[in-house]
Structure 1
């Protein structure tokens, strides 16, 4: 389990790095903050970081972990770095961009909504929410609320959040990077569901039959 001090350091450091890379890619502070939509985007990044710190969660392997799935974390990390840097870089140079400030504001709204959906399960599960594919101490199956409709709301939030970031910079590159997230995300979901079936058996099988993974009636 991470101590509150270490979690705070990681959240603050990660937020500063995230915004710094985007600002550098865009051409500097003056250029970045000359765009009202990007000012709003930066404010939302900070607010989501604060909310994420307060939500809890951990990166503990718990009582049992699928270690073979850790490669997904590397894939997520590489795609995240590309996603942070490439859309603002392309936007500032008008390379593979979509037209109009409306696109930017749609992106800001999706970024905020996706971030909220991503954090919602962390608030529901608290420290039982792990960055690893693992069974935590006192793990129980949660099937109410948003989990009564989709089984992996946090991953849906990740996709919407990523798409929002791409559109805030009008970036076709960013949209393609969001699509690329589907590959490691599918592998992660498969690994999680195998582990949960092994832990909860027929209870989880019944839960799977009445819910969708990410999008009701589609997936």
Structure 2
């Protein structure tokens, strides 16, 4: 399947599945937060994906691959299960909280601010991908693509900036969907990503020349001045 067709098909399937979770959990299609979130996500994904297709098709091709791959460590496959369950289950919980149970009463201004946070998260993660053409969604050494240690851009600040962007993405998702309780998913995701960072660093230290020196220079793994 060509890259363009693969991108279109995965976009339709991904957001169709996401919409089914959100509106199924909400119990109604009359859910402004759900439509606002889907609209923002589709627009951002199409814009950034189309640009990535032009400037770095190799990375886009990697990011369109499935979350379980042959060269991926077993530990990473296992930790991805709770990560994906948290992301999709958390999304359903947020929708149910805001539209079905109505535990959270969030003003529209905060939801629109959440859109700004989603945009900031996408821009940060896109900056990360422009700095690192090897930012695959799974833990593996891409020998076929000549993977090397990246020290520029956000990698000069933290060793795993994509995960930092994911935390802001999760927080933005909760706000746009209108769920205060959904923010609880952020510290849980932080814990799971911390476990995955340990798995990833073990693979990078053993399979990527120069990573040990880089880790000594850039102290912070995920959150600057914290860890």
TM range (shorter): 0.7 to 0.9
Q: Which residue of 2 aligns with 1:83?
A: 90
Change (3 A) 1:64 1:91: closer
Matches within 5 A, 1:193-204: 193-200=201-208, 203-204=210-211
Query: Residue 94 of structure 1: CA displacement?
Result: 5.1
Between the two proteins, the alignment pairs up a number of residues equal to 212
Q: So what's the TM-score if we normalise by structure 2?
A: 0.80
Structure 2: any 5+ residue segments left out of the alignment?
Answer: 53-59
Using the alignment, how far apart are the partners of 2:80 and 2:129 within structure 1?
18
Counterpart in 2 of 1:101? 108
CA deviation after TM superposition for structure 1 residue 32, in Å: 2.0
**Correspondence 1:47 to 2:54:** no
1:173 matched to 2:181? yes
Structure 1 residues 210 and 114, CA, compared in 2 at 3 Å: closer, same or farther? Answer: same
Give distance in 2, aligned partners of 1:98 and 1:141. Answer: 46
Corresponding residue of 1:32: 31
Cross-structure match for 1:213: 221
1:89–1:100 CA distance, 2 compared to 1 (3 A):
same
The answer (yes or no) to whether the contact 1:120–1:154 under 8 Å persists in 2 is no
Which of 172, 181, 184 matches 1:164? 172
Structure 1, unpaired ranges of 5+: none
What TM-score, normalized by structure 1, do the two folds share? 0.83
Kindly indicate whether the alpha-carbon contact (under 8 Å) linking 1:79 and 1:177 is maintained by their aligned counterparts in 2: yes
Residues 158, 222 of structure 2: 8 Å contact kept? yes
- 5 Å-filtered alignment, 1:182-201, equals 182-200=190-208
Q: The residue matched to 2:194 in structure 1 has which SS?
A: helix
Q: Are residues 187 and 3 of structure 1, via their aligned partners in 2, closer, same or farther at CA, if it must alter by over 3 Å?
A: farther
CA offsets per residue over residues 36-61 of structure 1, 9 Å max, x none?
Answer: xx554332201232145333151488
Equivalent residues of 1:48, 1:116 under 8 A apart: no
Q: Report if the CA contact (8 A) 2:37-2:177 is conserved.
A: no
Distance 1:146 1:19, change over 3 A: same
Q: Is the 8 A contact 2:86 2:189 kept in 1?
A: yes
CA distance in structure 1 between the partners assigned to 2:70 and 2:25 by the alignment: 42
Deviations 1:60-107 (A, max 9, x none): 889954232211221122112212211111111454325433322222
Q: Tell me which residue corresponds to 1:130.
A: 136
Query: What is the RMSD computed on CA atoms of the aligned residues?
Result: 2.6
Matched-pair contact (CA < 8 Å) for 1:83–1:177: yes
3-state SS of paired residue (1:134): coil
Residue 68 in 1 paired to residue 75 in 2? yes
Shift of 1:23: 2.9
